[in-house]
Amino acid sequence: MHLLKDGGLWVAMKGVYPEEEIAKLPDTVAVERVEALHVPGLDAERHMVVLKKV
């Protein structure tokens, strides 16, 4: 996240809900939202995680 300016957003696609990864984020990163995704033809969990550098 060091390449983002303050207020910059980072969007990541993850598999299962990334609870452990979110818990390990530094104080300089805030979770804006996490959305469950449906990917046609894929029978697995996917989530979009939007992070913001603060």
pTM summary value? 0.88
Which has more pLDDT, 26 or 3?
26
Task: Tell whether the model's pLDDT for residue 47 goes beyond 90.
Answer: yes
Mean pLDDT of 17-46: 97
Q: Where does the pLDDT of residue 10 fall: very low under 50, low under 70, confident under 90, or very high at 90 and above? A: very high
Q: Where does the pLDDT of residue 6 fall: very low under 50, low under 70, confident under 90, or very high at 90 and above? A: very high
49 C-beta neighbours (distance < 10 Å), count: 19
Task: Tell whether the model's pLDDT for residue 32 goes beyond 90.
Answer: yes
